[in-house]
Amino acid sequence: MKSKILSIVAMILVVYTTQAQLVDSSQIIMEQIESSLQYKTGVIELPEGDATITVPKGFKFLGKEQSNYLLTDIWNNEPDSTILGMLVSDQGIYTGVIYTVSYDPMGYVKDEDADDINYDDLLKEQQQETQDGNPERVRLGYQPIEFIGWAANPYYDADKKVLHWAKELKFGQDSINTLNYNLRILGRKGVFMLNAISTIDQLSEVNTHVNDVLGSVTFKKGSTYFDFDPDVDEVAAWTVGGLVAGKILAKVGFFALFIKFWKVIGLALVAFGGAIWKFITGKREKNTYTKE
């Protein structure tokens, strides 16, 4: 009996050792990814859109190639060729807030309709569109998305020509909802799109630096919204209301990484648990069968 107890203890120790090794491995992988990133600060040229971005205090800028690597290969987003880089808070890519930075040369966006948009109706339309798109997302290997509602109501600043709003989203069976905070900066020939990707519990943190991030992108002289020339410039097919129906991004990398490891740990526990149970009950089952 004593030897059986010692054997069971040994099995349990193997399980916990395996669990600890997997957690350590995940931490090492995350540290390696973070240390491989090459950040920039200061004023950075954005050739697309003829603008610059002045990295706000508390942030650092990650270039186009590494940003797209994180978004597609690590965080399992659909590829997006418009991404020019990311603003990453000093806390890093796994715990901090991140803004993707992209530019769409869609043309000059008219804003006359900004005060007439019914954002309640728009919310219902987008919730339905998100639901309708889930079968295709699942077919392509992505998680289904539920659009919970506005985390921040859409707001357009007509003086500064900037638009922002926030969506609360649920990806698959994730226990923590995702926050997509969207910023749009209108220019003469297109729009800069900055999207915060974080968890919903970071909303208050995002709110503290939204204005700083909005002010970080500056169109150069001749390319601002107020430089529009109706005789030569193209007008966008979208209006301000149409911009709110933008693409959804998910910051799933941190959670997905741990979920993958915990799934492995869970399977190991089940396997070892079954083995332990059979070891404990095996003799009893054998004796019962013999008596019959």
How confident is the model over 5-18, as pLDDT tens digits? Answer: 445 545 554 545 55
- Which of 45-54, 57-66, 120-129, 243-252 has the least mean pLDDT? 243-252
Edge to edge, the sheet with strand 98-104 lists 39-40, 59-62, 83-89, 98-104, 191-199, 178-186, 162-171, 145-157
* Residues in Cβ contact with 41 at an 8 Å cutoff, skipping those fewer than 6 apart: 55, 60, 61
How confident is the model over 121-179, as pLDDT tens digits? Answer: 989 988 999 999 999 888 888 889 999 999 999 999 999 999 999 999 998 888 889 88
Comparison of pLDDT for 27 and 156, the residue scoring more: 156
pLDDT for residue 243 is more than 70: yes
* Residues in Cβ contact with 74 at an 8 Å cutoff, skipping those fewer than 6 apart: 33, 253
pLDDT range class, residue 193, cuts 50, 70, 90: very high
End-to-end, the C-alpha distance of the chain in Å comes to 24
pLDDT range class, residue 30, cuts 50, 70, 90: low
How confident is the model over 207-226, as pLDDT tens digits? Answer: 998 999 999 999 999 999 99
How confident is the model over 60-73, as pLDDT tens digits? Answer: 999 999 888 888 88
Using CA atoms, how far apart are residues 219 and 188, in angstroms rounded to an integer? 9
145-152: long-range contacts, CB 8 A cutoff, minimum separation 24 = 145/169, 145/170, 145/171, 145/248, 145/250, 146/170, 147/123, 148/177, 149/123, 150/119, 150/123, 151/179, 151/181, 151/200, 151/203, 152/181, 152/203, 152/207
pLDDT value at residue 14:
53
pLDDT value at residue 62:
93
Instruction: Note the CATH number of domain 37-251.
Output: 2.60.120.1690
Q: Tokens in use for 262?
A: 């915990």
pLDDT value at residue 285:
41
Q: CA torsion sign, 215 to 60 to 190 to 74? A: negative
pLDDT range class, residue 190, cuts 50, 70, 90: very high
pLDDT value at residue 51:
96
pLDDT value at residue 278:
42
Mean pLDDT over the full length of the chain: 78
